[in-house]
Amino acid sequence: MAAPINPAQAEPTLETVTSQVCTSRQFSEAVYERICLEIGQDKLFHRKQWEYIYILRALEQLCALQPGFSGLGFGCGKEPLAAVMARRGVNVVCTDIEPVEKGDAYWGSTNVRDYFYEGVCPWEQFEKHVSFRPVDMNAIPDDLGRHDFIWSSCALEHLGSLQHGIDFVLDANKCLKAGGVAVHTTELNIKGDEETFESQGLSLYRRKDILRLKSLVERQGNVFLPINFNMGDGELDKYVDLPPYNRNKHLKLMVEEKYVTTSIGFVILKR
């Protein structure tokens, strides 16, 4: 069910990160094990955990996680990323949408304590480096400052439409310093490049949508790291998880009984 693999593209790795798809081989890399320990989690073959590892590894590789550097996260939910960043001495602003009626209480956050994880970073250091602010990703204010890096983890596909997510990525770049790094993850529909799922709550990006986003980012004058669409050829890469989903066998999954999606991450460099 996966999209065909371009034989010219070797399977992506975390050792040398580019814009890439979640594949099973990346879970066997030493860097995956190391960053799992840093976020205080046992390794799961789960794409959400991969997103955390990918974001931290991309920022690490591009030397953005330096003491005294500044980061800004969008739609941060209850991610462990800010705690890792704080432990490395990075100053972080976490944002999430203000609480709404019938909102997702599990993922949503309303204060800085939602990002604190015992054992990842001491509270005294965490409190020193991490702050919280409510922000609507569809209307990013102009007073968030300029940062060394920004990130979002599978948030932009929940903004109302495919175009809303693309507009967010383009607008968020205003929050970067020159030379800054943006790392985002989102949903990739691997069933084809025409029909896809788009709704108020969830939109699945196609390969052509990601390529269009890359073109728009480059039109801004920024750099979008090359995209590796290799989907992997391991047993887990061929497996499509069905509801109720499996916590440790969850790289590709069925949505709406029709679409197969996985996670893709991409990196932007601000010029």
Report the pLDDT value the prediction gives residue 102, as an integer from 0 to 100: 52
Q: Which domains does the chain have, with CATH numbers?
A: 19-269 (3.40.50.150)
Name 214's Cβ contacts closer than 8 Å, sequence gap at least 6: 19, 224, 227, 266
Asked if 206 and 162 count as a contact pair (C-beta separation under 8 A), the reply is no
State pLDDT tens for residues 19-55: 999 999 999 999 999 999 999 999 999 999 999 999 9
Q: What length does the chain have?
A: 271
pLDDT for 65 beyond 80: yes
Query: Would the pTM of this model clear 0.85, i.e. be above it?
Result: yes
Report the pLDDT value the prediction gives residue 168, as an integer from 0 to 100: 98
